[in-house]
Structure 1
């Protein structure tokens, strides 16, 4: 298995911070100064089944007078493996990031969150000061799965959501550190099929796969537990682990619309995203609707989650309440705009950050 240290690009360094909550691994640029002001500091937060390694190209592309910090969330990369209390939503992750920034002497910064990391930085903004938010292909403010367009829950037990929805063979291959492309459920195959749109090419795929394989699969981490349900498809949300942090019972960051001080938001997403969309191939209700899972009870009971529409509605309300929102939609791009269209992503990020400085 490729080690995390072997996966660092030239110019990127790693170190572990001892915080009151846990040991947190961060990536930095070797050339960056610790005295860089918060207004020129960007903190990158990765998504599910990944790590800070995915941000390296973006970090290296930033102007020399900026500071880049990428944080490994608990149970990912080289950060300490501790159980995730899903009943707090994404707050364990958000509080871990805050603890790391306090050790670094940062009271605030510009926050960039990808996928689940988008939910982490929205939760962070609810609890702590932030200069700006960049949401890349973010989880819906109402969580992942199990809600109507207005964010209301479909069932009291969040049927079809959480840890029970993970593919068991994919989890087993993560545990084994599988780097092959021999099966559709290998991390490499999942990356090619769902993290990026067809046509993406890179010299760093081995690094991205190593990042995925850094995911801790111990009890309490990925994917999490589940509970029996009398509702289709037969299971509901559990109480621990990564996937349960985003079930609607525990996660709802739509109150960002009521923040007294609203950090400006940049929302970047692609039209070919297979993971976060209004027809997600990771949403069991959508899979039921298209016949991939038998027994689907129908649109009235289990509609597919309108993830992008929900985000747009919440961010529209944020704007109506006095916040600033910029949306960048990239045609034909999948779940990873910063990898697939790095120049466009970077230009939008810098325009967003610099105008706040």
Structure 2
């Protein structure tokens, strides 16, 4: 009897080991998964274009070559604002763009990039990863067979380049300005004429007076675009305090990947997104110093308090309208407002109090 029991134990152990070995073989069978990504940016576009390439490099390295991602830039696929549809249809497995570009197709996507007078970058990351933001993003994108993940943050953006000084709300009326997302709706409510233009066409549009003003990012990218040669007034920000790009993933592609490669892909996206934020912050600091030294003719200004108040009031009115029109929009906006109310207390008692104390020392 003892020999029979021992034989059964040995047999069960052998079956278990065989099963584990088979599972390992399936996970590391050497199969290479080749994915295609479309990006909204032109080839070699700095910082924005660095993030997806770093993600692809990390994914391939961590997967020991089992996950290979090729990237098509806008000048190849010819559809910078077509990334959503191309990934949704399966023409591309992945996309790198910005969520608020899809507000014309899916209005609730715009809340996941950044919001005027909203959260700072650390606050917004806290909301997305730990405050319910990811679940709400899944609610919006799952209806279209997509997943969306953070794709790199610019930090607080400048308010834009203007060919004329803004002294009152009246100066905004009829102003043709490249400004996307919710901020564009705020400007429209105040009488401006917002539009969205791909990055490669911005300088020409400003030079030819197709537009009167534009916002792009900040010193990290603006100086190399040459906007200061045409529009000397550079305004501080209000509209995009934490601009987050996105990685789009086709749901069918996601489900085809083994579990370990999904983890590697998600980790690669998260690491490259954080790296873009740090790179953008660094480049802004470097270029701000360069700007002050080499281009002293640039007039850095803040919008008058009357203009800021009008923008804030218009933003609050629009938020109320959006929440009343759509239950999911209300759920997203309520979640953001509640999280910001809580996290801002900590921001004020930590970062703001620290910086204020240094200012007091300088005085």
Task: State TM-score, norm by structure 2.
Answer: 0.30
Bigger-Rg structure (1/2): 2
Greater relative CO, 1 or 2 (CA 8 Å, sep 6+): 2
Flag the structure with higher helix content: 2
- TM-score when normalising by structure 1: 0.30
